[in-house]
Amino acid sequence: MYVGALTLDILLGDVRSLKQKRSVVRPLIAELQRRYPSIAVAETGHLDLHRRAEVGVAVVSSSAGNCNEVMDACERMVAFHPEIELLSARHRLYNDED
pTM, two decimal places: 0.90
Point out which residues pair with 54 in neighbouring strands: 9, 45
Q: What is the pLDDT of residues 25-80, one digit of tens each?
A: 999 999 999 999 999 999 999 999 989 999 999 999 999 999 999 999 999 999 99
| Angle at 46 (CA atoms; ends 43, 48), nearest 5 degrees | 110
